[in-house]
Structure 1
Amino acid sequence: MILFLSSVLFLSIIGILFVHSAGSYWSEVHYKDQLPFAFKQASYLVVGILGALFIRNKSFVRLPMFWIGTYILSILFLIGVLIPGIGVVRNGSQSWISLGFMNFQPAELAKIAVLGMLSFSLGNEKKSKLKLYTQSAFVLLLPVSFIMLQPDFGSAFVLIVAAFILLFAAGLPLKFFVSIGMTGIVALVALIASAPYRLDRIQSFLDPWKDPLGTGFQAIQSLLAVGPAGLFGFGYGNSRQKFLYLPEPQNDFIFSILLEETGFIGGFIVISTFVLFFTTGFTLATRVKTRSSQLTIIGFTSLLAIQTFLNMGVVTGLLPVTGVTLPFISYGGSSLVTTWGIIGIILNLANDSEKEGRR
């Protein structure tokens, strides 16, 4: 438990430091009269930690009705964000709802709701195989459909893969995944065909220099940050790509700036800390007493692991560009607060198990 919490706190502090470094110039140019990104990120972290401490001591997270209610609420938010005048458009996606002090992304809540709903459904009820398969597919695909309408392919992909890992851990047979996978491939082809920009992203991934000032721009600038960094980087605060070369470097491409300034050593430390976090998270899952709690921890840990892998893969040119943040480190209140909410739930379930073990 101590290693789990220490890794999360360390990554969050690293996030504040590099949000400050990566976003300082961008903030000065575009948001002269607003609070610095690092100050906002620190505020979001305080809110997230307080939320996690609150959730940690509440028994409602172990009640199936809580997850049913959270799931329904997430669907309502996903519908609401698509309504003109409610949803806020950023970078071509209508994925946000403005709360004044921060922008809220309903897809973040949906990820938690879907995985929690699936975990308690699979862990607490005995159903026929047909009902189990049908319900699991519906619980997953309904919110994914709304997320894709925004469109937000990155969030949908992360949610689907995390849900598949959860369902596999729950013991669903291979034929279920084959049928869902085939449906997903057909849907993916249709989505690419319906939106040419997705095909452009794939082409730019294969050859970003084909359109260096267009679809390949972010990938090239990220590689120009990572490539020359060497073993120790250029030093904290000495990034060159943050000077308006990488668009909004404090967000999805913050790991590029981190690697540019700290080099291989800094990247290795951060990746090792993430590995420690995931390892201890999965270890906590093996210690809990109830099946539903075990599946919940597996699902949430998998969610953050996939999101981390996807973000780092994009930054280093291993994967096509997708708008997925790096957990705990990328700037953003919606992402940081909900991620710490996940930590609170994991601590709640793990702590409850420890109390049972001491009785």
Structure 2
Amino acid sequence: MNNLAAHSLQEIRSVDRVLQLLLVALLFVGFVAMVSASVEHAAGRYGDAFFFAKRYFLHFSIAIGAGLVMYLVPVEVWERSSWLWLLIGFVLLALVLIPGVGREVNGSRRWLALGPLTLQASEFVKLFVIFYLAGYLVRRRDEVQHRWSGFIKPMAVLFAVTLLLMLEPDFGATVVTAGSAFVMIFLGGVKLGQFMLVILSCAAGAVAMVIFEPYRMKRLTAFTDPWADQFNSGYQLTQSLIAFGRGELTGVGLGNSVQKLFYLPEAHTDFVFAIFAEEFGFLGSMLMVGLFVGLIARILQIGRHAEMIGQLFHAYVAYGIAVMISGQAFINMGVNIGLLPTKGLTLPFVSYGGSSLIVCIAMMGIVARIERECRGKYGH
């Protein structure tokens, strides 16, 4: 037992330093941003200004444990069991739709209550889909690159996943999951014609979903001109833009945001980036963006190294994680600055949300494991 513990400690100490520093910096900045954005809401609703900060530490403790497990378990284990994790993902997505099992909030049924924790199934399914696709692209590499059947099979699985996500409904998770899957399949060598056909089909489907759902159409029209109805459909976006405007170059200072004083709804979740921009200005915003860019670039570099030495499952998982995090960060920030229509999607490592934090740190654990195995086997 002592030898096992010593070996585990030695493994942990060998974590990639660049990845480690970028992750710690992003978590620190994210914690400061989340706590600052949440204090007024927490004080008004729960009578404790640091309610969300305390909950964060509970989630963070679980997340660190999940990250360590992902780092200590060989990647080969996830590769062999990739199909099982997809099955578990389907079970989770089905459970949240069952009345009395899934928890409904604001008309959406996305959560499972487990004691003091409320887990969002879609956050875990994102990682499970990455595992499944990475395993499939390795096992069926020749079929994916040369036959339609190799392309249609994962598309059928992805369609089933997105259908369950839309039944919740969770349009944001659907977009991120499908987008990440498309990029992974494209990197797996699928023909460009096949890829473009599916992209156009999905684009047509997305347009149809917007047209036939009044609340989505309302969000789209509010996005094009939020000031036309700034106290109704355009309220969130106009308040977010006001926060960015108040921040100017250096911000109004930590804790001095006005928009978080019940002007901007969901300030500690969907719009935490706007509050951070108000308090730390353009320079602070660029710091956060820079940390995301650095982290994603490092993950892609690790994936590229794994691919060059023939560790294809490792590479596809790293690529999938990089695309997942970058896509979600881009959508959240894009919504905050008015670049994209309003959509409830957390900012990885920053927004308040236990499931998001647990899954994001777990992803970093497996990326660190991928880097460790590739370095240990072949060196840099």
Band of TM-score, shorter chain? over 0.9
Deviations 1:227-259 (A, max 9, x none): 121111000000001110111211010000100
CA spacing shift, 1:13–1:42, aligned 2, 3 Å: farther
| 2:281 aligned with 1:266 | no
Q: Which residue of 2 aligns with 1:162?
A: 180
Q: Which residue of 2 aligns with 1:124?
A: 139
Secondary structure in 2 matching 1:321: coil
Q: Which residue of 2 aligns with 1:297?
A: 318
Of residues 236, 247, 251, the one that matches 1:233 is: 251
Q: Which residue of 2 aligns with 1:88?
A: 103
Q: Which residue of 1 aligns with 2:352?
A: 331
Q: Which residue of 1 aligns with 2:263?
A: 245
Give yes or no for contact 1:11–1:328 (8 Å, CA) kept in 2: yes
CA spacing shift, 1:61–1:254, aligned 2, 3 Å: farther
Q: Which residue of 1 aligns with 2:301?
A: 283
Give yes or no for contact 2:226–2:238 (8 Å, CA) kept in 1: yes
Identity among equivalent positions (%) equals 31
Task: Output the CA distance in 1 between the equivalents of 2:40 and 2:78.
Answer: 46
Q: Which residue of 1 aligns with 2:3?
A: none
TM-score normalised according to structure 2 size = 0.91
Partner AA of 1:334 in structure 2: S
Q: Which residue of 1 aligns with 2:239?
A: 221
Secondary structure in 1 matching 2:104: strand
Partner AA of 1:298 in structure 2: Y
Q: Which residue of 1 aligns with 2:57?
A: 42
Partner AA of 1:271 in structure 2: V
Deviates more, 1:276-285 or 1:185-194: 185-194
Q: Which residue of 2 aligns with 1:136?
A: 154
Q: What is the root-mean-square deviation of aligned Cα atoms in Å?
A: 1.7
Task: Output the CA distance in 2 between the equivalents of 1:333 and 1:149.
Answer: 22
Q: Which residue of 2 aligns with 1:113?
A: 128
CA drift at 1:358 = 4.7
Deviations 1:180-218 (A, max 9, x none): 123213322331233110000100000112221221110
Task: Output the CA distance in 2 between the equivalents of 1:127 and 1:213.
Answer: 55
TM-score normalised according to structure 1 size = 0.96
Deviations 1:75-122 (A, max 9, x none): 111011111112222233211112232211111111111111111110
Moved over 6 A (4+): none
Task: Output the CA distance in 1 between the equivalents of 2:21 and 2:35.
Answer: 21
Of residues 24, 28, 31, the one that matches 1:16 is: 31
What is the count of residue pairs matched by the alignment?
359
CA spacing shift, 1:226–1:358, aligned 2, 3 Å: closer
CA drift at 1:265 = 1.0
Secondary structure in 2 matching 1:345: helix
Q: Which residue of 1 aligns with 2:43?
A: 28
Q: Which residue of 2 aligns with 1:68?
A: 83
| 2:274 aligned with 1:256 | yes
Give yes or no for contact 1:124–1:292 (8 Å, CA) kept in 2: no
Task: Output the CA distance in 2 between the equivalents of 1:312 and 1:185.
Answer: 21
In structure 1, stretches of 5+ residues that fail to align are: none
Task: Output the CA distance in 1 between the equivalents of 2:105 and 2:238.
Answer: 22
